Structure 1
Amino acid sequence: MRKNSIKNTRINEEVLRELSNIIRGEIKDPRINPMTSVVAVEVAPDLKTCKAYISVLGDEQSQKDTIAGLKSAEGYIRRTLAKNINLRNTPQVQFILDQSIEYGVNMSKLIDDVTKDIQE
């Protein structure tokens, strides 16, 4: 995989900021959890596709509902991105559930349990 150029890095940051604003403030779908955040965005160098990594604070059903709500609002999100960001092509957004934060919390809890047992 090649290293991102400065232009691609700036585009990733801009899309991440706008996507966060759209999800937080403009989408009114009740399936989308209010504790949803965009962790990272990877826009392809040709600006045709975009992978958005989404983190949802909640149970597994809430995570599935949020991803389903985002996929159903994909057209609106893409249209709003096109309006707010001046790019040659507006990328097709693919939402991917990112569970790295949840994984990190679980690992931290397991490490704390093990160290507590050792200290006792």
Structure 2
Amino acid sequence: MKHKRSDKVAETIHTTISTILSRGLNDPRIGFVTITGVEVTDDLHLARIFFTVIGDEAAKKSSEAGLNSAARFIRHELGKVLKMRYTPDILFKYDHSQEYGQRIDDLLREVGTGNDGNDSEDR
């Protein structure tokens, strides 16, 4: 399988940002954040970093605001590790995929329990 350079850069960005967050940022708005994915454009000029956070909707919004305000610092730290001519701009976005997956799982359970084992009558 062929790997694009953007995929390799995305992996490096993922591990580097995870390390930066584990050391902690001095922003009280940022809660317990987990990086779930990184997408880098093919021209390597933009990196979208997807994250989840434990907490309610207010915690999600404040963590996203805190991460985006720390983006310049994080980009500077990335530049030290990536050693590229141009360090990608970074944009933090909340990852809704886990909530979406949970919703689908709940719906499937609801359909499964609503069946009551009466499959023979439906035939």
What range describes the TM-score normalised by the shorter chain of this pair?
0.7 to 0.9
How far residue 58 of structure 1 moved from its aligned partner, in angstroms, is: 2.0
What is the TM-score normalised by the length of structure 1? 0.85
Cα distance in 2 between the residues matched to 1:116 and 1:40: 33
Aligned-residue sequence identity (percent) comes to: 32
* Structure 2 partner of 1:49: 46
Once structures 1 and 2 are overlaid, which stretch shifts more, 40-49 or 95-104?
40-49
Query: What's the CA shift for 1:5?
Result: 4.6
Please identify the structure whose Cα radius of gyration is greater: 2
Amino acid at match of 1:50: A
Which residue of structure 2 lines up, in the alignment, with residue 92 of structure 1? 89
The question of 1:82 aligning with 2:79 is answered yes
Aligned counterpart, 2:14:
16
2:105 paired with 1:108? yes
Output the CA distance in 2 between the equivalents of 1:37 and 1:86. Answer: 25
Q: CA deviation at 1:49?
A: 1.5
Within 2, Cα distance between the matches of 1:15 and 1:82? 10
Residues 10-40 of structure 1: per-residue CA shift (max 9 Å, x gap):
1111111111111232313111111x21121
Residues in 2 aligned to 1:64 and 1:16: alpha-carbon distance in whole angstroms: 21
Give the count of matched residue pairs.
116
Gaps of 5+ in 2: 118-123
5+ unaligned residues in a row in structure 1: which ranges? none
Q: CA RMSD in A?
A: 1.8
2:120 — aligned with what?
none
Deviations 1:60-103 (A, max 9, x none): 11100000000111111111111222222111101111110011
